[in-house]
Structure formats: structure tokens, C-alpha cells
Structure 1
Amino acid sequence: MKRKEPIEIFSLSFLDIISCAFGAVVMLILLAKNGEQDEYRQDSPEVSQVATLIKEVNTSQQNVVQLEQALSAAQQQLAAAQAVSASNAEQKQALETQVARAKDNVQQLTDAATGLEQTLLERERAAINAGNAQSRDDEVGGIPVDSDYVVFIIDTSGSMKTMWPRVLNTLDEVLNNHPKVEGFQVLSDNGEVLGGSALGSWRKDSKAQRLGVLRGLQGWNGSSNSSPVEGIEAALRAYSRYQGKMALYVFGDDFTGISYDSTLAQINRLNRSASGALIARIHAIAFKRNMGATPDMVKFSTLMREVSRHNNGTFMGL
């Protein structure tokens, strides 16, 4: 019987296999490390995402800083606006105080004007009652009626139109105070002639002419700026050659001008001839609206009272 040879566990073939296996493991380890490095290369998607996130965080931080600065600026503006608002409130209170004081002054002037109007009304009534005389007196109810030529200057503004029947009645009564004149004319407060006649012309005095004027005035809408100054100046320039024989009657309720002194000085200058003689008497009648006296009405009364006094005329209030 043949004897079996003993089996060698650690033979050359076994060592070769072990070596190959070991080498394979080493290769796998090396490949695994290379793979990890490739996954975290700079140009890998993961790295790009991280970089993008970092940039977004930085941008967000910058936006937060900008928003904080904008908030601080808005808070400063709000504080400034609140300060301005407080100042405006103080100014409003001061203005309200001034308005209240001005209303008190207007009321005082109105009360004073009312008392004066009562006195003047009595004088005007005396003139009306005496206006039916057949012969002309030199003075009727305090109004001199010694003029041969008469010019009526009538405010045709909307406020006067609300009192138009009273205006026409007063014109008729004043004409009655002059039973006979050489000529008369009617102008608006801007110097526009009733009926379109030429400025400087006269209407021949007759019953028909007087009635025609009253009819024409009923629908007349002459130009007006609620101030008698332009009409007075136009009349004095156009009719200056009738020096000493003329009277102006100013009907109105408003004066929208600014300066009393300059206006009065201009009228006084135009109403004097080269020798300094008076060209025309200037009378004025102030009409009061039902709502009571207004600042412009007080201004008209103040101005025309002085104009009448400086030009040998009479001022009355209705």
C-alpha cells in the first residue's frame, strides 16, 4: 500500500493566492481613497452648492444691514415729521386765535357802521321825501343838488344784483331830487356806458329818457370788478370839461382794492383842474346786503366816506 504524502497547508500556491488577495485589498483601499477625493473636488456639485449657500448668507447679511439702516432713517424721518406736526398744531392754534380776534374786530366795526347808518338813513329819507319838488333846491336832505350834469356810477357785480330793485328805486329817487338837468349818464363801476353810448356823451334829460334808463338797467350786465375806482376815474377824465357843473353819484357795496391812501390821492388829483378847482362833487351811497356788513362793505364805506368828504359830496348808507 502506497503511503500518502502529508498535505502542506502553507504551500507556494497558497502564498500566491494570499498575496494576490492582499494586493487586491490594497488596490481596493487605494481606489476607495481616490474616489473620496474626487467627490470633494472644487468643481464638484456639492462644493458649488456650499459656495452658493455661503454667498447667499453673505448677501442676506448685507441686506439685513441695509434694512437696519433704512429703518433707522425712517425712524429719524418719523421723528422729524412728528416735530413738524407739533409745530403745525401750534401754528393752527395761533391762526385760530387770530381769526377769532379778527371776527371780533369785524363785529365791532359792523356795530359802529350800523349806528352810523341809522343816522345817515334819516338824512337820506329826508332827501327822498323832498325829492318830488317841482323846482330844484340847492340842498335836499343834506345832498347838494345844484349840478347841471349828473353821472351815476353803479356797481353791477353779483352782490349788487341781489339788491337790484333797491338800486333802481334809489336811482329814480335821486333823479327826482334833480327835477331838471342839462344831461345825465349811467356808467358801470368799470366805466362802461349803459346802452353802449360813447364815454363822454350825455343823455338829454326828459321823462322818456329817465324811464328808458330805468328799463335798460333792469337787464343790464355791465362789466364790474366790485370796485368804484375805475368808474370814477373814467368819468372824471371823460367829463372834466364840465368843471363846477357836474356831480357823480357812486352806488356800490364793495371795494376790492388794497390801499385807501393811494386810491384817494388818485381820485383827488383827477378831480382837480390845472388851477386846483374842483371838477365835480362826488356823492356815494353804500348798499347793505341782508346778510349784514362784510369786510369789503366796510372797506367801501370807509373809502367813499373820505372821497365824499374830500370832494364836497355826501355819503349815505342804505
Structure 2
Amino acid sequence: MSIFKKRREDGFNLAFLDVMACGLGAVILILILVKFSANTDIPVEELEKLQQELNATQSQSDGLAQSLSQTEAELAAQSLSLEEAKTRLQQIQLEQQAVTRALKDELAVVADLESAIAAAGPLVADDPIEIQGAGEESYLVGLKVEGQRIGILLDMSASMSAESLIEVIKSKVGSDAQKRSGNKWQRTLRILSWMLARLPSNSEVSVVAYNDTSKVLGSAVSRQSSPEQLRQIVSQARELAPTQGTNLQQALQTMSSTMSNISNLYVITDGLPTYVNPDSGFRLSRSCSPIKGQQATITGECRVSAFAHSMRANPIPGVRTHVILLPLEGDPAAPALYWSWADGTRGTFIAPAGTWP
């Protein structure tokens, strides 16, 4: 009985030791596995990928830092420019204030001079005939009516009725009353009155109106000392109607026969002539026949030829010639030729503004 009990106790002890040994082995195995996992290296590919991402991030950071520095520099430059602009604006404002003060001072001086002029003399000039305007204010600087024996050629051709070619064409089919009321013709009459009102003391004047023919206005020779004779010239001029073409040669011929020993000639016109006298020696051609009734239209070159022929055929030597040109559209050579005529005689050439006189 005792032997059997002892064997049973020995079997229990062996089994316990086996279990403990197995457990210890399992613990050792776990420790080995944990140590192996802790010492395992990171794969090379993963390390390179991380390094590339780090480099890219660093480059991006450097780029952002550079962009930030550039932006700060631009802001600093703009701030400096803004300050310069403010300084310049203040300087301009100071200059403007100084100019405004100077202008006010000049205006005050002008006002004082005007007051002095008004107090010193009459507002109306002592002219032999009455004209529109406030007296001396109607005088044109640069043009002076001078000489003892004065001739005035007044162009009364159709183009003198209006400023533009369209209006000239319209006026050609209108009545004489419409032609007389044209703005350019009314201005021409004012210019004639202006000149007659400013004749030198004790001078003589002859006025010849011309288109394709010519006509002496008033007395053949009128005197500055006779206001009635000058008013007669103005009255007859107002009855004229601007029509037909322009024959400067005929006008010069009439003026030469009307007033001998003329000293100064004044020409009021708007362009070059369109006609010459028949049988006056002009060399006619198919393209240029400036004889009334022979050519419906005329070119600019032909008008130049007609002007040159008029100067050669009927010269007035030794006479100072002054030209008042009211330019006509489509006649570009007129200013140069009339200026050359006036300059060659030591005369005056003007193309006044539309507001004069």
C-alpha cells in the first residue's frame, strides 16, 4: 500500500517540472524575438525616400524664404517711392500756389492798366466812318493802313460767300440776298469798313471790287477827310453779291487806270484767280484754259499759272502790297504765292482768325 502511494507522488513532481521548463523556454523565446525585432535595421529604400522628402521640404523652405525676402525688398522700395511721390506732390502744390499768387498779381496789374486806359481816353476811336466794335480794340496787331495814295482790291467772287466749299456750292444756286448774307461775305465787308475807318490823315483811296469783271466803288478817288465819300463806298459794297470767278489781272488793270502813283495796295481775297484776260498772251492748253466760257473747271496748277500771268501782264511796280487772305478749301498754293507777292514788295501778309474783325 505504501509503495503504490510513493509512485503516485513521483509522477506528480515530474509533470510539474516539465511544465515549468516549457514555460521558461517560452519566456526565453519571447525575449529572443523581442530583441531581434528591436535590432532590425530600417530598409535602405525607405531611408532614401525619407531623405528625398526632407531635401524637397528644405528646398521649398529656402524658396519661400527667398520669396519672402524679395517681397520685403519690394515693399520697402514701394514705401520709398510713395514717400518720394508725397514729397513731390507737396512741392508741386507749393509751386501751384506760387503761380496762382503770381497770376493774381498779374491780373491785378492788368486791371489797373485797363482802368488807367479807360480813364485816360475815350472808348470809341475817332474814325471817319462808324464800324462795329469798341474802337481801338478792333485794331489788328501787325496790319496797319498806311500811305498817301491807297488802293484796295475787294474780291467779290462766288467763293467769298461762305467759308466751306459745300456752302459756296449751295450759295451759287441761291438768290443774291442769300449770297449777300453769307458769313464770309459779311466778314469781308467788315474788313473793308475796318480799313476805311483807319485811313491815314489826308490820304486818298480807290476801292475796286472784282470777280470776272471789275468795278470801282464810290468815287474814283475818295478822300479820308470826306466821311460821306467813304460811307458811299461801304454802301455800294453792301449792294454787291459775290458771284462768278476771279480775274486778278482785270482788277490790277482797273486799279492802275483808276489811281496813278499808287503807294500802297491792299488785297482782300480768298484764293488764286480762275480767269485771265482774253488775248493777253496766256499760253492756253487743253488742261489749262483760264478764259471765261472755255473751261468748266480749273486745276490748282492752272490757277498758279493764271496768278503768275496776272503778275507779269499787269504789274504795279514800286507799290507796297499787303494781302489779307481768307483761305479757301482746295487752294493750298494761295498762301505761299500771296505771301511771296507781299514779301517781295516789303508789304504785309496775314490770314486772320475767323473772329476778326
- TM > 0.5 between the two? no
TM-score, normalising length: structure 1: 0.44
